Chains A and B, each alone.
Chain A
């Protein structure tokens, strides 16, 4: 008795069913590009990562058992590929973020703010300076923290799914996520971004 689950489409060997790969690519390439862009912070590296991800998926398609969602499987492949690619590029070790470093030591540090009072997030993000600061802060995060933040807060996945992708339990995911948020908050607020909105100032710059 063979245990073959016939429900999910991409289960047949890719070589025998090229359509299987095409469907997989067509349905998920935008998702994986978005994830890759958020991890890499720029387009060229993101494209490299997408290609590496789908190449691995192409080769692994025949082994995919449908135990997780296809998107979870692809996120996992992309995350591992990203770790490998980064390791190749620069060998610097990842540094850990400790909770202690986020304990404010002064009133001023406690009261640092992010300029979005009364604005919707979309309006706030029209402030170019704020947008750049946010991107920069995320980019500065050590990779494993960035991954947790991107998957949870940007891709909108639940901690359990993030854990499946990163090979962690939920508690570890939440701990990384919390530190990542504290890091980004500190980076953002410490920049002292002023409250001027590009969209209300006549739009001379984009």
Chain B
């Protein structure tokens, strides 16, 4: 009995005032110790890093606003002007074309296009500053240059080296054809870029100015298309829509291979596959201004006859020249 009476007070004594002071002191000490061990850089409450690795880089915030969109348009215009300048400087438009023997030298015409695109870039940069951009973007679009324009020049002029799985590809069989087609493609892209800008900027004045410039680019593309393909003003599809009675029921073949054709029996000499067909440009390629990808096909075919094929698109998140994008 006396033993029981002495046990009860001993238990309660472990949580008495002195014990609580000790617990409190230990708690504060432990918290101070852990706080001291934490990474001072992570003041937002993140746990400290273990080891000596580099801290995770913080990517800049990519705000998309009127200034960024207009800077991007300026960069596209500069890229186009630079591409045309290279064609003129290297004489790529002067040589006769085997595909288009009646084409003639297009150097003077394309040289006149350069001035328009340089002025367009200046105008877009000026509008970007009005829209609040910190500074203009005076060089070409990095994405358009590196992923589209430079590879085309490389493939057309130099071909492609052999790899472990593919044979070497020769330079283009008709560089002039590929360059004039690139002119048409880039003019279509210029017009489409301005058209795509219209619902993306907030000020009507920006839209009107962009489309004033787009009209000129569209006409460049139409004129160059008529130099390449003088008899084709409208597409067959648009013509058939306008004349429903004239439509034909015979669908054109979509492939050169016809598996239903009877075998000739001559299997001794397999011929090289035909190269990818390059469609001729049309002055009025669609009833409305199109924002669909613009397909460019050029260069010599590879061992299977496949030429370089790229789809040019209007600016998107990976090709915008954000405020932090610089000309480096």
* Real binding pair: no
B interface residues (Cβ-Cβ under 8 A, vs A): none
